[in-house]
Amino acid sequence: MAMHDIRVTVNGTPHDAQVESRLLLVHLLRDQLRLTGTHIGCDTTHCGACTVLLDGQPVKSCTVLAVQADGRQVATVEGLEKDGKLHPIQEGFWEKHGLQCGYCTPGMMMTSCALLAKNKNPSEAEIREAISGNLCRCTGYVNIVKAVQFAAERLR
Amino acid sequence: MIPGPFDYHAPGTLPEALALLSKYGEDAKVLSGGQSLLPLLKLRLGQVGHLVDIGRIPGLEYVREDGGFLKIGGRTRESALEASEAVRARYPILLDTARVIADPVVRNMATVGGNLAHGDPGNDHPATMLALGAQVVAIGPKGERVIPIEKFFLGLFRTALRPDEVLTEIRVPAPPARSGGAYVKLERKVGDYATAGVAVQVTLDGKGAFERVGIGLTNLGPTPIKASEAEKSLVGKRPDAAAMAEASRLVAKASSPTADRRGAVDYKREMARVLTGRALKSAVERAGGR
Amino acid sequence: MQPKTSPEVGGMGHSMKRKEDPRFIRGKGNYVDDISLPGMLWMDIVRSPFAHAKIKKIDTEKALKVPGVLAVITGETLAKFNLHWMPTLMSDTQMVLPTEKVMYQAQEVAAVIATSRYAAADGVDAVEVEYEQLPVVVDPYKALEPNAPVLRTDKKDKKDNRIFHWEAGDRAGTEKAFAEADVKVKQDLYIPRIHVASIETCGCVADFDRVNGKLTVYMTTQAPHAIRTVFALVAGHVGLSEERIRIISPDIGGGFGGKVPVYPGYVIAVAASVVIGKPVKWIEDRMENLQADSFARDYHITAELAAKKDGTITALRMKTLADHGYTDAAANPSKFPAGLFSICTGSYDVKKAFVEVDGVYTNKPPGGIAYRCSFRVTEAVHAIERITDVLAQQLKMDPADLRMKNFIPKEKFPYKSALGWEYDSGDYPRALQLAMEKIGYQALRKEQAEKRARGELMGIGISSFTEIVGAGPSKTFDILGIKMFDSCELRVHPTGKAIARFGTKSQGQGHETTYAQIIAEELGIPASAVQVEEGDTDTAPYGLGTYASRSTPTAGAAGAMAARKVREKARKIAAYLLEVSEDDLVWETGKFSVKGAPSRSKTIQEIAFAAYTNHPQGMEAGLEAVDYYDPPNLTFPFGSYICVVDIDRGTGMVKIRRFVAVDDCGNIINPMIVDGQIHGGLTMGMAPALLEEISYDENGNVQGGSFMDYLLPTAMETPAWELGKTVTPSPHHPFGAKGVGESATVGAPPAIVNAVVDALAHLGVKHVDIPITPEKVWRILKEKGVAE
């Protein structure tokens, strides 16, 4: 089967890779680029632990082929902190205890970032809807909502 | 979790895509949003030799009102449909539908065309498009053809699309005045397929009686279902309780669901009836009727 | 409770931000699948499609031709090293890989070792197995019938499918009480199988270093030391020796009890690494996880209460059939094959009680203890809280009144229950009262009456539970013989900072923060300056791990005791430095000062420095202590939960309108973390009540084996939980704390069921089994003629 030469820009840095057609984007990020902040939690596109931004939109990277990301921009959790300064969403999750085991957290934060880029003052209902594609087993979502509200306030 | 091996092509133009589809025939599949196809490949249910990704072809993502139709590019993302001004203002039934497809993150990749072309009676757009009386535009090596939606769904995972065609556009006729529609989906949780889903699109006449009724059903049979008998039963009648109840009963009759974890056959049939009542009520309200 | 220390010190009661978060929010957690070692190989597993079948042939020829595949391991391979079977934590036996037959669908049949993740998956696809199907037993009642096929043909002389019979209490006395009762109620309840489904699945990287003869296993485990000892015992005969086995439990993406057992995948990976001499990574995917490991519940219970006309409960009786799957691989303390089920007299002063549990084999995956159950307390509480409501309904008494009437009064603590537990402390009426106030109970009852008259269905359900956690005292608690103490090793550095290592292992509970807060409270060293470590068996003191809400009661206690030992040595050093006798010193957080001359003092930091630079002659240098804490008793957190539901008469959908949870876990280390545990626990209580179930058809095919049908709640299904607290300290715990991690998962389901039944009670409904699906409710409504 053919291999493909692709260039994917991740968190602003272009990466060249030679990949099988079937390589999932999440495996490119984790196994080849060693950006292990994006996690895998299921095999049926439900859990959202693998959520990254593809050209600014949250997508489940387990259900995107690496080749589909050729020439495009991917943003992962590793790119949130800039020059040693945490992104407000990271601050929010920390301040408000929006994480416990931390496994769903990168995906949650990426989805939340995209929400806040579109909606500067989301209501609780809007936040819950926006993160309804991201499963958490630890927090019961209450503090995740608070974390996003905290970040929204910081960003305004 | 890991798909079996396949070849991947990313043509830059539609003719290139069509050439690839012709070349590989049944061994090729179109990759649009990938949110139905890739999960199947990851579970190794269904082998495919070649994926033809239409994601690089320009001009396939749009929502515009033109010539009496709402025209939706085949590769339009569900999230774009949700965000479209035209849809929000004038096609609330489409907003209802887009909002309950999978979950918000999946909707950034999933496409309207893919939702129809996959031929899955569990997908949500088919019922809505049936209710709206939409048309599907397919382009193949011999050119463009327009397929009425009632003729589009042939069987389980089978549509009228030929292996060498690409679904490029969906056309929804702009509803006349005094029209309204709603899609009601019963799901166990966000992200689930429908236990039952009912789409209703109506137009009322000057006296407030039903002039046109479209009713489509999700996951209540081996294909998406057009509930013709129920539709006909309403034409000419006023939207009173008796008429709506009779139509709902006929929808249940038109349903042939299979039993699964979402429910037994009798439960699903009953839900078809209950949801029809709710969808009708909402459609009539939106049409300005009572 | 007001904290005694300043926020800078961060002792008990401070909602300090978690110390572990900086790495998680940056995506720099170190989970098992993040680990990559030079030369690492991948392992993937071939699984049986059948629930019960002989293995006729395993053909590996095609698989071995797949590029990247190096080897295929079968039961025959392992049998050469006598590793094809292993003991379970309940001293039963379990297959690692089968040589004769498989006994559950998705059972491990062979393992493929390859140079990449993708090649291993391709290899699995190419292994060809020929099976001869055998009759399947999935109904535990059928499994007990005289002509049922005997499943454990590997056990010589086994003629049936029984595993154990366990009982507690006074059978004859209870029978007499029932015979004399004014009122009796009886209810069958089935609590189906569910699955922890932590977002991270199970896996390991097994790394055998041939040169040094050392095995290191990075593993998703909640109990690394126990695993190490088990490996040494199981594989000692192939040369693995305990001092040369290192288990590292790095960051764990949720455990909930599902990462306690030793799964075959781990053992196969270890064997592969030992044989090949390279690191071997095995990470199961979600469907494997749901279908083959970590299940919980599967209890068929008949619950009975006897009572006086006025509602005073006089006796309780429960009979349970426990479906364990094909082997008893539950992770119970060894003397308790039914866990702590005998807590089922609950919060009530029940004078006579008798319970019995029978375990049975079926063709299903093994297990039973998981999903925040506190060792079967979820089952026990579900039963008592349900049967209490059944009694209330029978007596036409308000369920709150019935509970208040029967609660063990505060003055009776420590309370000896009829089934042998000594509850340490409790104030049940206060918690229920607070819950009722918070939810506006009387107003809701009024609203319900009005709605009922209009045909609208609304229900209010109460659960007043008593939990039992902190296993446990060495006289009664052990796992595979290892006593259930836990430990802390605390060392203070010259500059007054500290490192504390524990025998437990957090999977999100925040130990790096809460344990530091305990040390801060005892010694006045700021929590931010106390580094907490867990999970590496080469460095951490021996402990039994984190599950069943035991960490704060055992390891937390050990931390406090170790800190007090340090403080005692610090006192001696302070006395020396200040040239007074120890009795002349007064301790306040962070320093010793001279009685009557408070300006003459030494801070803990000054004392620490002196421990290395100026310690008294005859005393050892250094400032450290180890404590292995043997708890004198368990702890008994409790609470009252009230749930309000509205039912859609058309679809049967149940919507939780409000849920108030009042919890009492004694003295609280970090209120924010405790609340987080409750939020998560409530969500994992709601999920089994309304959404989750693993079931099997008559051929043993699993239903609910992927997230398509195993329904985890999203933020949309989850209500905005409302919390309250009361604080009733544990009299025997060093700082009065109890565990809390599982309280909400224990208490919530019956509150929800009670609410649904309450909504339908006027129609004559007495009980509904979980999960309460819309279809189940609709069927009831239809039968009662009130469906829309």
pLDDT in tens, B219-274: 999 999 999 999 999 999 999 999 999 999 999 999 999 999 999 999 999 999 99
Q: Which residues of B101-118 are buried (b: 16+ CB within 10 A; e: fewer)?
A: bbbbbbbbbbbbbbbbbb
Residue A13 or residue B289, greater confidence: A13
Encoding tokens for residue B278?
Answer: 């709710």
Going by pLDDT thresholds of 50, 70 and 90, the confidence category of residue C235 is confident
User: In the predicted model, is pLDDT for residue C511 greater than 70?
Assistant: yes
What percent of chain C lies above the pLDDT cut of 70? Answer: 100
Find the helix or strand (DSSP H, E) in which A112 lies: helix A105-118
Residues 108-167 of B with CB under 8 A from A: 108-109
Q: What does the DSSP 8-state code read for residue C212?
A: T
Q: Cα angle at C39 between C38 and C40, to 5 degrees?
A: 90
Cα distances from C162 to residues C104, C151, C295, C375, C522, in angstroms, run 17, 10, 20, 20, 50
Mean pLDDT of chain C: 97
Radius of gyration of chain B (CA): 19
Structure tokens given for C186:
């009886």
Comparing CA positions, the residue from C132, C161, C165 lying closest to residue C149 is C161
pLDDT tens by residue, A33-64: 999 999 999 999 999 999 999 999 999 999 99
CA distances from B256 to B129, B229, B232, C355, C392 (A): 20, 14, 19, 48, 43
Measure CA of the first residue to CA of the last residue in chain B; give whole Å. 51
**Tokens read off for B133:** 């009386």
Question: Which residues from chain B sit within 8 angstroms of residue C785, using beta carbons?
Answer: none
Among residues 4-63 of chain A, which lie with CB inside 8 Å of chain C?
Answer: 20, 22-23, 27, 30-31, 34-44, 46-47, 49
Nearest to B269 by CA among B198, B189, B193: B198
- Burial of C477 (C-beta count, 10 Å sphere; 0-12/13-18/19+): buried
User: Is residue C67 within 8 angstroms of chain B, CB to CB?
Assistant: no
Is any Cβ of chain C less than 8 angstroms from the Cβ of A126? no
Cβ contact B226:B151 at 8 Å: no
Interchain contact, A68 vs B34, CB within 8 Å: yes
- Given a cut of 80, whether residue C338 has pLDDT beyond it is yes
- Distance between CA atoms of residues B214 and C538, nearest Å: 70
C222 in active site:
yes
- Asked if B274 and C713 come within 8 Å (Cβ–Cβ), the reply is no
Mutate to test the interface with B, among A24, A44, A46, A63 (most CBs of B within 10 A): A63
**Chain C within 8 Å of B4 (Cβ-Cβ)?**
yes
User: Cis peptide before C496, with omega less than 30 degrees from 0?
Assistant: no
Does the pLDDT of residue C306 top 90, yes or no? yes
**Which residues, 6 or more positions from B37, have their beta carbon under 8 angstroms from its beta carbon?**
B29, B31, B51, B114, B118
At C670, phi and psi to the nearest 5?
Answer: -135, 105
Helix (H) or strand (E) holding C751: helix C743-760
Residue C454 annotated among the catalytic residues of the structure: no
In sequence order, which ranges of chain B are alpha helices (DSSP H)?
14-24, 37-42, 78-83, 85-90, 92-99, 112-117, 125-132, 228-234, 241-254, 265-286
* Average of per-residue pLDDT across C726-742: 98
Q: What is the mean pLDDT of chain B?
A: 97
Catalytic residue among C94, C105, C222, C605: C222
**Residue C50: predicted pLDDT:** 98
Q: Which residue of B has its CA nearest to A50?
A: B105
Q: How far does B1 lie from chain C, in Å, by closest CA?
A: 7
Q: Is residue C204 annotated as part of the catalytic site, yes or no?
A: no
Catalytic one of C202, C204, C344, C373: C373
Cβ distance of B4 and A20 shorter than 8 Å: no
Q: Residue A62 and residue A24: Cα distance in Å, rounded?
A: 6
Model ipTM value: 0.99
Exposed (0-12), middle (13-18) or buried (19+): which is B246, by Cβ within 10 Å? Answer: middle
CA distance C696 to B99: 33
Q: How confident is the model at residue B47 (pLDDT cuts 50, 70, 90)?
A: confident
Nearest to B139 by CA among B8, B34, B253, B17: B17
Q: How far apart are CA C77 and CA C85, in angstroms?
A: 12
CB contact under 8 A, B103 and A62: no
Is the distance from CB of C289 to CB of A44 less than 8 angstroms? Answer: no
pLDDT tens profile A73-88 = 999 999 999 999 999 9
Determine what percent of chain A falls in helix, strand and coil, rounding each to the nearest 5: 40, 20, 40
Q: Residue C747: which of C413, C469, C438 has the closest Cα?
A: C469
Cis bond before residue B92 (omega within 30° of 0): no
Q: Nearest-CA neighbor of C641 among C317, C403, C422, C339?
A: C403
> Beta partners for C93?
C87
Task: Decide if A133 touches C, using CB distance below 8 A.
Answer: yes
pLDDT tens per residue across span B165-199: 999 999 999 999 999 999 999 999 999 999 999 99
pLDDT on residue C368: 84
Q: Do C25 and A42 touch (CB under 8 A)?
A: no
- The whole-angstrom separation of Cα B30 and Cα B21 is 8
Residue C1 pLDDT > 80: no
Among B6, B39, B79, beta carbon nearest to A45 = B39
In this prediction, residues C250-258 reach a mean pLDDT of: 98
Output the pLDDT for position B290. Answer: 62
| Helix, strand, coil percent values for chain C (each to nearest 5) | 30, 25, 40
Partner-chain residue, chosen from C118, C285, C714, that has the shortest CB–CB distance to B191: C714
| Side-chain-side CA neighbours of residue C694 (13 Å) | 31
- Average pLDDT, integer, range B200-214: 97
Please check the confidence at residue C52 and state whether its pLDDT lies above 90: yes
3-state percent helix, strand, coil for chain B, nearest multiple of 5: 35, 25, 35
d(CA B91, CA B174): 9
Query: For residue C129, is it left (φ>0), alpha (ψ between -120 and 50) or beta?
Result: beta
On whether any CB of chain C is under 8 Å from the CB of A97, the answer is yes
**Apex CA C786: angle with CA C785 and CA C788, to 5°?**
120
> What is the Cα–Cα distance from C711 to C704, expressed in whole angstroms?
8
- Choose the closest CB to C285 out of B1, B189, B262: B1
Q: Give me the amino acid identity at C785.
A: G
Query: Do C348 and C405 touch, CB atoms closer than 8 A?
Result: no
Instruction: Confirm or reject contact between B104 and chain C (CB < 8 A).
Output: no
Alpha-carbon dihedral sign for residues C524, C527, C528, C530: positive
The DSSP output letter for C737 is B
Over residues C13-26, the pLDDT tens digits come to: 999 999 999 999 99
Q: Is C373 an annotated catalytic residue?
A: yes
